[in-house]
Every structure is written in structure tokens, then in C-alpha cells.
Amino acid sequence: MRHQPADPLLAIIECVSSPCIGRLAPSPTGLLHLGHAATFFTAFARAREHNGTLLLRNEDLDPQRSRPEFVSAMLEDLAWLGIAWQPPMLSQSTRLPAYRAALERLLTGGHIYPCTCTRRDLAQSLHAPHDDDEPIYNGHCRPTHPTSQTLTAANYRFRVPNGETIRFFDHNLGPQSFTAGMAHGSDFGDFLIWRRPPTSEPADIALLRDEHGVRLAKRHDALAIRTLRTAGLTPADVLARLTAAR
């Protein structure tokens, strides 16, 4: 979505229903940094505020870049920050049969379709937006009518309700509305929900930027949590730094 944080999946907070459930969803492709800490502190506070549950999902679906040592480092850093979550940690790589079953249900219902567009195709799309937002898909592979097909080794996109406006209330930002579809001015289009293996998953993207405007998730480890810890900062120092950066 254009007007939302670049990676809403890094931490998901569902407090519209009871009980409130928050999810931390880091990828073990590097060390946690300040961007992660900002998102995770928020999710932790929201879950605690609503007497809810905070879960940890290890997004390790990228076999090329996911490393066990980053999982260990992630757990260690979360513990150091004082962010408690309810075990067990779910690793996505162990959940593929469940994901595939869900994908087949969506396909049977005509809610998704295979997309053969390459990254270059998408980059050249007329609907590619500015800066770092995910390009709005131009509908090249979208069937005119929803069709049920057999699952193939392809990427799959979710068919959003074209032209429909989605409204909800955001705890921090207030009432929000986003228009779905491929038309100019839409906020989000048909999005990828399945990448055929072993194409890589998108890298985790943080909300914070450094003093040069570079997203922290795109930086090296200078602001990794363990670097700050080694430098003698406390979790309270990290929280204060995040508050000052907002």
C-alpha cells in the first residue's frame, strides 16, 4: 500500500478482535537493528496494553539467505531488549504443507492467479510508483474473470476487489481508507502471496531511516542491536534513541 509502512508484515497487531494478538515476524537474513527494535517495541507495548499475546514467527522461507546463526542472534537480542513473546516460535520453513493447502483453497475459490511477470517486467510497468513503495501491479496476468485452476510452480497474486475502498481504524493514525485496483491513483493492487521456490522472499524492511534517509534495513550492521549492546548501550538507551528518531 502506498500510504502504509513499507513492510506491514514485520510486525502484525490484530486488536480488533479479542484477544489482541501481536506477531513479530523477522527474517533470519541478518542481525536485528534499530528498525526492528522500533517495530517490536510497539508490538510488545500494544499486546501488553491490551492484555494480549505476542507471538514470534521466524520468516525463514528464503533458503539462500536464511541462516541458523541469525535465528540464534534474533532470540538473544529479543531477550536482551526485554521483549517477551509466547512460545513456541513458528518457523515458516516448517509450515509449507499448511501454506500450500491454503493456497489451493484460494485457487479453488478463484481468489488468486498465476503471474509470470519478471522483476524487469514489473519495473517497466506503467503503474510503477515512485520511491520504495511496492509497484502497483498492472494486471498483465490477471484473468478477466476469476477462474479455478490447478496449482502450478508459479508465482501467485491475490485478486483485490478492483475499485473498492477498504476502510479501517488504525490505533496510531486514526481512520484509514485505501482504494484497491489497477486504476491510476489506487493505493494497492494485486499483490504476490506466493513465490515459487527458490526465488527469494523480499527482504525485511524497517520503518526507520538513518540521518541520510537510508532505510535501516538496507544498511550494514552499524546499527545492529548487538553492536549497540557491545558499545555499552542499555535497552532503555535503545528505546530512547528510537523515541528521539520519531
- Provide the binding-site residues for Zn ion, judged by CB under 5 A: 115, 117, 140-141
Q: How far is the CB of 104 from Zn ion (least distance, A)?
A: 20
For the chain, the straight-line distance linking the first and the last C-alpha, in angstroms and rounded, comes to 21
Q: How far is the CB of 201 from Zn ion (least distance, A)?
A: 18
What amino acid occupies position 1?
Answer: M
Q: How far is the CB of 139 from Zn ion (least distance, A)?
A: 8
d(CA 136, CA 189): 5
Question: Which three-class secondary structure string do you get for 53-64?
Answer: EEEEEECCCCCC
Residue whose C-alpha is closest to residue 7's, from 190, 235, 218, 165: 218
> Which CB atom, from 8 or from 114, has the smaller least distance to Zn ion?
114
Q: How far is the CB of 223 from Zn ion (least distance, A)?
A: 36
> Which CB atom, from 115 or from 225, has the smaller least distance to Zn ion?
115
> Which CB atom, from 82 or from 143, has the smaller least distance to Zn ion?
143
> Which CB atom, from 13 or from 182, has the smaller least distance to Zn ion?
182
Angle in degrees, 0-180, between the axes of helices 68-81 and 34-49, rounded to the nearest 10: 60
